[in-house]
A and B are shown apart, each in its own frame.
Chain A
Amino acid sequence: MAILVVAEHNNATLGAATLNTVTAAQKIGGDIHVLVAGAGCGAVAEAAAKVAGVSKVLVADNAAYANQLPENVAPLIAELGKGYSHVLAAATTNGKNFLPRVAALLDVDQISEIIAVESADTFKRPIYAGNAIATVQSSAAVKVITVRGTGFDAAAAEGGSAAVEQVSGAGDAGKSAFVGEELAKSDRPELTAAKIVVSGGRGMQNGDNFKLLYSLADKLGAAVGASRAAVDAGFVPNDMQVGQTGKIVAPQLYVAVGISGAIQHLAGMKDSKVIVAINKDEEAPIFQVADYGLVADLFEAVPELENLV
């Protein structure tokens, strides 16, 4: 029994989420092979070969795989996947995009966003915005699964010495084309990987006031997130959104500032180790999940907090 993990990458560096997926694969048990599908992705393959626990790296280097368009990569992964007991990918926007397409090509159900491995065929996953945890069992010949990064520790990025093997696929399906990308620039840690996250909500009142949070975050070495209300109001770009429809984070410390704590927001952060809420409304639902709550005006509390840490 061998497991195929599809690497998350940008053709230059291996995505951190791949390491969590490898850990999930180790819990299932079996040889772990990593597929790097991209263009000019040799450095990614080298990095993948060094990940502890990986026994083989498959590289499909083709211009058609450069942006991992699902129409092009799904047939490649499905064809390779037939020889494996499990095909895994990180539950990133990229993994969520191509993997269900792979599952349907293999004519099997997919299990989305697992947070725990019970056995080789049984997994736990959250449903209803994290308000219930389902234990599901698959009898599919190939089990196709996306892995929630925050549910598993990262595998060691060094220590492995896997063999690298070239594979080829059909290439361009001729149905879609990459037009362009607009990536948000940030020097702060990546939201989903940060140890500390400071998030702002509607209570921030405008985009300029987020400077208060950026300044606190820089002092703490934290990433900055936001609630949907803050994104919809145009305070910050949407890739900062934490929640059911945004990113799922589970840092050591999550500081919610001016966030009421709607179900959909809690779905994205309630697995954080310590939650701090700063809100002037003492009835806000966020206080029901916060380890430490401070009922105060954020415009006074946040600068004071920055001074004291």
Chain B
Amino acid sequence: MKVLVAVKRVVDYNVKVRVKADNSGVDLANVKMSMNPFCEIAVEEAVRLKEKGVATEIVVVSIGPNTAQEQLRTALALGADRAILVESNDELNSLAVAKVLKAVVEKEQPQLVIMGKQSIDSDNNQTGQMLGALTGMPQGTFASKVEVTGDKVNVTREIDGGLQTVALNLPAIVTTDLRLNEPRYASLPNIMKAKKKPLDVVTPDALGVSTASSVKTLKVEAPAARSAGIKVKSVAELVEKLKNEAKVI
């Protein structure tokens, strides 16, 4: 079966972001960008499905600026077969991204769509669920285990109290949680080979999708800083402070 994987270019997870002085957003100039960690897990899961003979073709898609081609090449180096970039320089909300993905799904007709549960920049955790609503596909969110059997996929999900397993009719959408797998690294020969794999570039307009949004960001601020704490010398001093100064125990 064909698997579609959606990946996003985001600021690297190790970067400590800074809010711009004019409060218009965070400063992303000259900051290291990478593939969203949850998307790496999505790519890895698709590649493992292919290695097991379940998936026959992996198509990877990203929506964003031209530079997102880097992340698509990374996915190709990890084992995806071909890539699609839907080029847009606007910052798109989840609903707009879901609409673009719906258009790609209609064109590609995948049996399984795998994507991360959330991107570490906007922290929305919406796109997979929204794509489910728009396409009518069932969703297996926060997946820690995925098993395809016949025309169904069993997804074990991480929920607040533990784990839950659901059975979904294919075609279906799975969003990955951190424990689904450990993504591999791309090898140098595979990075070289990935340069020759096909990468199509289209625009939301060409797909007939409007990316207008009803939500606008008025300002972005740094969170309130915590006042500097103190270092205590002993456990006895710590207990004394907690009892008499902070009054929390």
Contacts and interface: CB of A to CB of B under 8 A. Distances in A.
A264 interface: yes
Interface string B147-176: 000000010011111111111110000000
B95 A296 contact: no
A271 to B, nearest CB: 9
A178 B164 CA distance: 8
A128 B239 contact: no
Interface residues of A, number: 89
Main secondary structure of the interface of A (DSSP, over half): mixed
Contacts of A107: 95
Contacts of A232: 179
A308 B167 CA distance: 51
Given A71-B138, A176-B169, A308-B236, A182 B162 contact: yes
A292 B165 contact: no
B166 A176 contact: yes
Contacts of B142: 93, 97
Contact of B130 (A100, A136, A184): A100
A126 B138 contact: no
Interface string B110-154: 000000011011111111111111101111011010000000001
Nearest to B224: A133
B94 interface: yes
Given A109-B95, A175-B137, A247-B160, A128 B11 contact: yes
Nearest to B117: A245
B216 A244 contact: no
B248 A274 contact: yes
Nearest to B182: A232
Contacts of A275: 226, 229
B17 interface: yes
A183 B142 CA distance: 16
Contact of A132 (B128, B144, B218, B222): B222
B139 to A, nearest CB: 6
A165 interface: no
Nearest to B153: A176
B131 to A, nearest CB: 8
Contact of B132 (A70, A140, A174, A178): A70
A243 B110 CA distance: 33
B223 interface: yes
Interface in A81-104: 92-94, 96-104
A130 B220 CA distance: 11
Contacts of B14: 263
B214 interface: yes
B29 interface: no
A237 interface: yes
Contacts of B238: 276, 292, 294, 305
B17 A181 contact: no
A80 B216 CA distance: 26
A239 B162 contact: yes
A304 B131 CA distance: 53
B95 A136 contact: no
B215 A181 contact: no
Given A104-B133, A112-B123, A175-B137, A293 B231 contact: yes
B88 to A, nearest CB: 16
B232 A244 contact: no
Contacts of A263: 13-14, 16
B219 interface: yes
A134 B139 CA distance: 28
Contacts of A291: 226, 229-230, 246
Nearest to A221: B249
Nearest to B96: A109
B214 A104 contact: no
Interface in A254-299: 263-264, 270, 273-276, 282, 287, 289-296
A177 interface: yes
Interface string A124-141: 001111111111111110
B161 A109 contact: no
B232 A293 contact: yes
15 contacts: A92-B160, A93-B158, A93-B160, A101-B130, A101-B132, A102-B133, A104-B129, A109-B95, A112-B125, A136-B216, A253-B246, A263-B13, A291-B230, A293-B232, A295-B231
Given A109-B213, A128-B121, 10 more contacts: A94-B159, A109-B215, A126-B223, A132-B19, A133-B223, A181-B164, A181-B165, A274-B246, A292-B230, A301-B235
7 A-B pairs with the lowest CB-CB distances in the bound complex, closest first? A104-B133, A100-B129, A104-B130, A100-B126, A140-B214, A175-B138, A179-B165
Interface of B: 11, 13-14, 16-17, 19, 26, 93-95, 98, 117-118, 120-134, 136-139, 141-142, 144, 154, 157-169, 177-179, 213-223, 226, 229-232, 234-236, 238-239, 241-242, 246, 248-249
Interface of A: 67, 69-71, 74, 92-94, 96-105, 107-113, 122, 126-140, 173-184, 192, 196, 220, 228, 231-232, 237-239, 244-245, 247, 252-253, 263-264, 270, 273-276, 282, 287, 289-296, 301, 304-305, 308-309
